[in-house]
Amino acid sequence: MTAPPAPPLRVGKSAVGVVSILAGAIGTLESVVSPTLPLLQRELSISPAQGALLSIAMLVTGALTAPIAGVLGDRHGGKRVMIWLMVVVSAGGLVSSLAPNLPVLLFGQALEGAMVGAMPLSFILMRKLLPAEESPVAIGVVSGFFVGGGMLGTLIAGPIAEGLSWHWMFAIPTLAVVVATVFVHRVLPDDQPTRSDARIDWPGVALLSGIVLTFMFGLATAPDMGAQPLLLVVAVVLLAAFVTGWIAVERRAASPMFDLRLLARPAIWRSYVLTFAICVGAALSIYLVPQLFAVSGDGYGFGASSTDIGRYLLPAAAMAAISGPLGGLGTRRFGSTAVLAVGIGVMTAGLIGMAFIHTEVWHLVVGKALLSLANGVCITALVIKTATSVDHGSTGTATSLVLVIRVLGFATGAQIGGAVLTAGTPAGSDVPAESAYVAAFVIASVVTALSLFVVRSMSKGVKE
């Protein structure tokens, strides 16, 4: 049962500020593993396959936590559930920072994955606590801090791990999360629940878990599927079974975790398709650019150190930080369709530019900065489009699935990038050919450009 929305409270900039700072802190903690994965493999004496498991542990648990957090936030109040989640995240950060081996570190990362659920909760709070005309910009600010925090984590993880130890790269962001959570608890007013049916659809959660895990399994085993086609058959059959079962359960559940009727709305399903496509293109650039900086190939690459790479990515971090507020302002003034069209156009141009022009460091610096800005603007516009296309009682549920799809998109893009570079590495060498980078960037630009066809149809029959 959906309760009528309460009048928005005048919370002021301080409340938006503390939620944004918390988003930045968890974004930082989320991103420290990826740039230091080779170092962690050396320090913990783990294989590349085990390193790959470490790199996706948080993504998997985060994708599973987000829908539950969104439902709980709709039904119990966003602030209360956010505090609970941050306790779990802080515990995970502490476990990770003290981990003596891979199993303990994996457990810590699994706990940290609960942070993904904080994003739909922050969107719930912004819609509840702010007037309608102000909430899009506030959502953009929170999204921008999360993206900016992710870039900050990418920048500082290497220097901290090399200068202190890899334990500190978990400990420092965890301390920031704890401090920000205390401020959220003290500054943010309590919000009233918008749903009275507080039951969680556990069968739906279990089946969605199966979908995510099977999808990740398919990506992880993709390089071996050519030699073992049975793996492909098993992955496809399992995925189809889980999807079919999830749809059947959600249609019949008295209190479903996701109301499938929302998917009948063009604004919702198109937002999900766009989120996946845009994140695939963005993930390819996130994966490829640092490697192109670091590689020293035959006539290409720059042989950059971890510190150099962090410095080169600094402009992209700045662009990511302002992309959320810019996306919120642009959406409020011009509408999400216009913002998405411009953002996707910039992303496509940047990817094509880096594919064929990457002979100087500044070529990649500028291209990556443009991509970070455009990607952040697009994701913000999509989140706002999704959040404002449903009633207040469904905000967390609808936006949480955006985050699940975001995770799947990033995982897909990274896997595609790795597969293309592996296929483009000559026999007897560990350095991919330059043509492999070109091909990967072109694939990313094609996927991104094709999403424009979805954007063109977004406003048909839908009032912006």
Same domain, 348 and 367: yes
Give pLDDT, residue 107: 87
Dihedral pair phi/psi, residue 176, rounded to 5°: -65, -40
Give pLDDT, residue 394: 61
Same domain, 405 and 348: yes
Give pLDDT, residue 230: 75
336 occurs within a structural domain: yes
Give pLDDT, residue 464: 44
Give pLDDT, residue 8: 45
Same domain, 279 and 346: yes
Same domain, 307 and 418: yes
User: Is the model's pTM score more than 0.85?
Assistant: no
Q: What is the secondary structure of 32-95 as a DSSP string?
A: STGGGHHHHHHHHT--HHHHHHHHHHHHHHHHHHHHHHHHHHHHH-HHHHHHHHHHHHHHHHHH
Q: Which has the closest alpha carbon to 95: 14, 199, 3, 170?
A: 170
Return the H-helix or E-strand segment holding 263.
none
Same domain, 247 and 262: no
Distance separating alpha carbons of residues 220 and 225, to the nearest angstrom: 10
1 occurs within a structural domain: no
426 occurs within a structural domain: yes
- CATH at 132: 1.20.1250.20
Same domain, 230 and 277: no
Q: Which has the closest alpha carbon to 379: 35, 113, 119, 73?
A: 119
Cα–Cα distances (Å) from 20 to 27, 146, 157, 184, 312, in that order, read: 10, 7, 21, 10, 25
Distance separating alpha carbons of residues 295 and 305, to the nearest angstrom: 10
How many distinct structural domains can be found in the chain? 3
Burial letters 346-363, b for 16+ CB under 10 A, else e: bbbbbbbbbbeebeeeee
Give pLDDT, residue 7: 45
Q: Which of 257, 281, 299 is the last residue of a domain?
A: 257
CB 293 within 8 A of CB 304: yes
Q: Which of 235, 257, 279 is the last residue of a domain?
A: 257
- Quote the tokens at residue 138: 């506030």
Give the structural domain span for 217.
202-257
Return the H-helix or E-strand segment holding 357.
none
- Quote the tokens at residue 136: 């899009």
Task: For the beta carbon of residue 166, count every other beta carbon within 10 angstroms.
Answer: 24
Same domain, 249 and 265: no
Task: For the beta carbon of residue 123, count every other beta carbon within 10 angstroms.
Answer: 30
Same domain, 159 and 218: no
316 occurs within a structural domain: yes
Same domain, 266 and 122: no
CB 124 within 8 A of CB 191: yes
Same domain, 115 and 183: yes
Same domain, 218 and 279: no
Return the H-helix or E-strand segment holding 392.
none
Q: Which has the closest alpha carbon to 128: 177, 73, 86?
A: 73
Q: What are residue 296's DSSP bridge partners?
A: 301
Q: If you compute the radius of gyration of the chain from its CA atoms, what whole number of angstroms results?
A: 21
Cα–Cα distances (Å) from 24 to 157, 179, 196, 277, in that order, read: 15, 12, 31, 24
Q: Which of 221, 240, 257 is the last residue of a domain?
A: 257
Q: Which has the closest alpha carbon to 149: 66, 281, 32?
A: 32
Distance separating alpha carbons of residues 52 and 92, to the nearest angstrom: 19
CB 121 within 8 A of CB 88: no
Distance separating alpha carbons of residues 325 and 379, to the nearest angstrom: 11
197 occurs within a structural domain: no
Cα dihedral 73, 78, 81, 86, rounded to 10, equals 130
Report long-range pairs for 307-311 (Cβ below 8 Å, ≥24 apart). 307/158, 307/159, 309/35, 309/158, 310/35, 310/154, 310/155, 310/156, 310/158, 310/159
2 occurs within a structural domain: no
Distance separating alpha carbons of residues 415 and 204, to the nearest angstrom: 27
196 occurs within a structural domain: no
Same domain, 247 and 304: no
233 occurs within a structural domain: yes
Distance separating alpha carbons of residues 18 and 408, to the nearest angstrom: 29
User: pLDDT in tens for each of the 464 residues of the chain?
Assistant: 444 444 444 555 677 778 788 888 888 888 788 777 667 777 887 755 556 567 667 777 777 776 677 667 666 667 778 888 889 989 999 998 998 888 888 888 888 888 877 777 777 777 667 666 666 677 777 777 777 787 788 778 878 888 888 899 899 999 999 998 888 888 777 666 655 555 666 787 778 778 777 777 776 666 555 566 677 777 788 888 888 888 888 777 766 666 667 666 777 777 788 888 888 888 888 778 877 887 776 678 888 776 677 778 778 877 877 777 788 788 878 877 888 888 889 999 999 999 998 888 899 999 998 988 888 888 888 777 776 666 655 665 666 677 677 777 877 787 787 778 777 878 777 778 888 889 989 999 998 888 888 777 655 544 44
